[in-house]
Amino acid sequence: MSDETENGPTYGFDTLQIHAGARPDPATGARQTPIYQTTAYVFRDADHAAALFNLQEVGYIYSRLTNPTVAVLQERIATLEGGVGAVCCSSGHAAQIMALFPLMGPGLNVVASTRLYGGSVTQLSHTIKRFGWEARFVDFDDLDAVAAACDENTRAVFCESIANPGGYITDLDAIAGVADQVGVPLIVDNTSATPYLCRPFEHGASLVVHSTTKYLTGNGTVMGGCVVDSGNFDWSASDRFPSLSAPEPAYHGLKFHETFGNLAFTFHGIAIGLRDLGMTMNPQAAHYTLMGTETLSLRMERHVENAEKLAQWLENDPRVEEVTYAGLKSSPYYARVARICPKGAGALFTIAIKGGYEACVKMVNGLEIFSHVANLGDARSLVIHSASTTHRQLTTEQQIAAGAGPNVLRFSIGIEDADDLIRDLDQALLKATGQ
């Protein structure tokens, strides 16, 4: 049953993951959201076109900006996260740039966790320098170090809720407190957790980003990203965020925050971000992801159940030196699970095996059910040796800091039969270690 509020019923997660944003097609009555495979939309008349281009009316102009299929996905993800709006784009990496774009400028910096996906570390370490932006990497378990890394040029704090690859859980409440003191938004990559396991806005985050490629789609078929806005950050509280608080020359001096209120960041993401960066999600990708979200809670429950079983088995295996799964009582992050991810610690973790780099390679080659791919969040169980792939561009010190040392394998646990997965791990460990 749903709870009643003054605005009507409040539905549960399982209902929202199917229905949020979706309505029967008004022209045909189609129950599933159609794929609107079109580049442009006919205006009613010249005044209608002018109103759309002036941001005086919400509607569809060109699919680089808005598309009805993508719009349903945006509303669904925003609803599941508890946000006011969302902007979908072409990939998770695109979502990170989209999130930073209205905030940053030459000479400004973002303070980021050392425990990030290797591609994110590379993007923040090297690529954003071409924009004149800087990233400062800090161990987010050291709150004093996070605060010390922030200065008058800091414009955001960035972390992952469940960090890839190690499955470490970030103390979002504590980090949000630091960001609040500095007066900047906390951006949380919630890809590994999904809103089913963690809702960062409830812990003080201002913005959430996703690689929808992963668990939200859940079947390894399409790329996508999303930026979700909490609507809670005051962009006009200081002069640090002129893109949102100051007059915008491209729209005749319109001030996004003054005009659109708590939807300012979302409107800017469409009207400026997608317009000029062009990192658009295509409607077929949105369609696949919409279908994936319909089973999100069911899949995440099985992902977590399997991950707990496999992590416990691996922790008790003498061929394994370490398992980083936060759902294990031995994990230093175990106490955070109930508070940050009350429905489980996710399905992502690493193991260190005896024999180092060479043993890792042998184990990857020996696995039969696990797929060796550069992805996570699939219904299939996946494995990768991060040091030779996703984190290859990093120094050994950076790899170790990110939890992806040479003797480490990352696992993304799928929804297969757990006993079958354990047997596969057992035979592969025998091949890798001779034991």
Give the model confidence (pLDDT) of 281-335 as tens digits.
999 999 999 999 999 999 999 999 999 999 999 999 999 999 999 999 999 999 9
Whether the upstream peptide bond of residue 165 has omega within 30° of 0, thus cis, is yes
Pick from 382, 365, 13: nearest CA to 192: 382
User: Helix or strand or coil: residue 420?
Assistant: helix
Distance CA 153, CA 338 (A): 35
**Residue 294: CB partners within 8 Å, gap ≥ 6?**
17, 18
* Residue 8 predicted with pLDDT over 70: no
* Residue 27 predicted with pLDDT over 80: yes
Q: Can you give the pLDDT at residue 2?
A: 42
Residue 316: CB atoms within 10 Å: 9
Q: Can you give the pLDDT at residue 435?
A: 84
Pick from 202, 100, 101: nearest CA to 156: 100
Same fold, 13-292 and 298-433: no
| Tokens 């993007």 belong to residue | 123
What is the chain's mean pLDDT, rounded? Answer: 94
* Residue 5 predicted with pLDDT over 60: no
H or E element that contains 301: helix 296-315
| Pick from 7-16, 69-78, 130-139, 352-361: least confident | 7-16
Q: What's the CATH code, domain 298-433? A: 3.90.1150.10
**In whole angstroms, how far apart are CA 45 and each of 42, 67, 111, 347?**
9, 20, 47, 52
Pick from 104, 262, 121: nearest CA to 184: 104
Give the model confidence (pLDDT) of 170-219 as tens digits.
999 999 999 999 999 999 999 999 999 999 999 999 999 999 999 999 99
* Residue 1 predicted with pLDDT over 50: no
**Residue 65: CB partners within 8 Å, gap ≥ 6?**
270, 271, 274, 275, 280
**Residue 419: CB partners within 8 Å, gap ≥ 6?**
none
Structure tokens at 222: 């399409």
**Residue 368: CB partners within 8 Å, gap ≥ 6?**
424, 427, 428
Pairing of strands 320-323, 348-353: antiparallel
* Residue 165 predicted with pLDDT over 90: no
Pairing of strands 408-412, 382-384: antiparallel
Share of the chain above pLDDT 90, in %: 89
Distance CA 142, CA 145 (A): 5
Q: What are phi and psi of 229, to 5 degrees?
A: -105, 130
Pick from 278, 289, 264, 342: nearest CA to 77: 289
Q: Can you give the pLDDT at residue 395?
A: 81
* Residue 266 predicted with pLDDT over 50: yes
* Residue 354 predicted with pLDDT over 50: yes
Pick from 321, 324, 301: nearest CA to 311: 324
* Residue 7 predicted with pLDDT over 70: no
* Residue 74 predicted with pLDDT over 60: yes
Pick from 290, 287, 221: nearest CA to 35: 287
* Residue 226 predicted with pLDDT over 70: yes
Structure tokens at 27: 């022209």
Distance CA 410, CA 350 (A): 4
Question: CB of 382 within 8 A of CB of 374?
Answer: no
Q: Can you give the pLDDT at residue 398?
A: 79
* Residue 3 predicted with pLDDT over 70: no
Q: Can you give the pLDDT at residue 9?
A: 66
Distance CA 109, CA 89 (A): 23
Ramachandran sector of residue 284 (left: φ over 0; alpha: ψ -120 to 50; beta: rest): alpha
Q: What's the CATH code, domain 13-292? A: 3.40.640.10
All structural domains of the chain with their residue ranges: 13-292, 298-433
Residue 94 is which amino acid?
A: A
Q: What residues are paired with 248 via a beta bridge?
A: 254
Residue 175: CB atoms within 10 Å: 25
**Residue 325: CB partners within 8 Å, gap ≥ 6?**
167, 307, 308, 311, 315, 331, 345, 349
**Residue 295: CB partners within 8 Å, gap ≥ 6?**
17, 218
Higher local confidence (pLDDT), 397 or 97? 97
Question: CB of 283 within 8 A of CB of 37?
Answer: yes
Q: Can you give the pLDDT at residue 10?
A: 84
Structure tokens at 65: 């900006």
